[in-house]
Amino acid sequence: MEHRFERLTPHIVIMHAEHETDRPILAAIAGQRRTLLLDAGNSPAHARLFREELQRQGLELPSLLALTHWHWDHSFGMAAWNLPAVAHTGTAEALKRLSALEWHEAELALLAAEGVLNEASAEHIRLEYGDAAQVKVVPPDVVFDQRTVLELGGVTCELTHVGGDHADDSCMLYVKEDRVLFVGDALGPSVYGGPRRYSSTGFLRLLETIYAYGADWIVESHGVPLSPDDFRRELDPWERLARLVDVFGKDRTRVVLELKDYLGLNELPRDLSQGVEYFMAGV
Ligand SMILES: [Zn+2]
């Protein structure tokens, strides 16, 4: 996979997302004094791939780790890196709970049944680890509430708590000098504990937050880095959908009709009609 890794900007190398086992984007952000790793990966194997590539390229290995949120695919690689980790209080609480568990198949099935995880995540964990007993969860070391700044030496990273539907503890990381905004999964729907949900006001608030940065690159953890123009183009139907739900609420027929009209389509593409259901669940 030659396109697995990419130098995004002068200070940032990323490993792209991989969907078979839900691996999110990982980033190494290099300052003169320190290299920061953003998100730990979903397993030691995922972590190893990125570390080996950084070594192959002769780059400084990370000496500090920051998390976008607690979800397994972003955090379960932490033990393998063994780095001081910075995370939101909500992230720390969730990981503390998971680190106290005895991990094995029955526990994993229980977590999925209880809605702490879901069946899809449990399946991805089985696929990634082979055996759930191999999972090792560790809590972060440095905890913050609203915002923290990591000075890497000529490179400034702002880690800001934004919350949202996907996870209460969602944070975004902005690399000032390179004008890159990592939004984690913040724009996603809720995924655990019931049907997937979007709240229209929450979604619009997050979009506004993202646009206010004026970043040159916007990076969603399970997507590809996008220019602001591409991001706006991609998110435009979703923004319109959220605005329609804000106005018409539970009136699904009207929302769908107006959205089709706006897009000039007879049928909504699959992802958008699924999106309508997430928003309806969140009204
Ligand atoms: Zn997530």
Average pLDDT, the chain: 97
pLDDT in tens, 129-177: 999 999 999 999 999 999 999 999 999 999 999 999 999 999 999 999 9
**Residue 138 has which token pair?**
């560790």
Strand, coil or helix: 197? coil
Residues 115, 94 contacting (CB under 8 angstroms)? no
Residues 103, 128 contacting (CB under 8 angstroms)? no
Instruction: Go through 233-257 and write b for each residue having 16 or more CB atoms within 10 A of its CB, e for each that does not.
Output: eebebbbbbbbbbeebeeeeeebbe
| Residues, CB within 5 angstroms of ligand 1 (ion) | 71, 185
Distance of CA 253 from the midpoint of ligand 1 (Å) = 30
pLDDT in tens, 220-271: 999 999 999 999 999 999 999 999 999 999 999 999 999 999 999 999 999 9
Distance of CA 266 from the midpoint of ligand 1 (Å) = 32
Distance of CA 201 from the midpoint of ligand 1 (Å) = 20
pLDDT of the residue at 59: 97
Distance of CA 229 from the midpoint of ligand 1 (Å) = 24
pLDDT of the residue at 3: 75
Whether the pLDDT of residue 1 is over 70: the answer is: no
Distance of CA 170 from the midpoint of ligand 1 (Å) = 8
Distance of CA 185 from the midpoint of ligand 1 (Å) = 5
Residues 155, 34 contacting (CB under 8 angstroms)? no
Distance of CA 153 from the midpoint of ligand 1 (Å) = 29
* Dihedral, 192, 195, 200, 205 alpha carbons, nearest 10: 0
Neighbour-count burial of 100, counting CB atoms closer than 10 A to its CB (0-12 exposed, 13-18 middle, 19+ buried): exposed
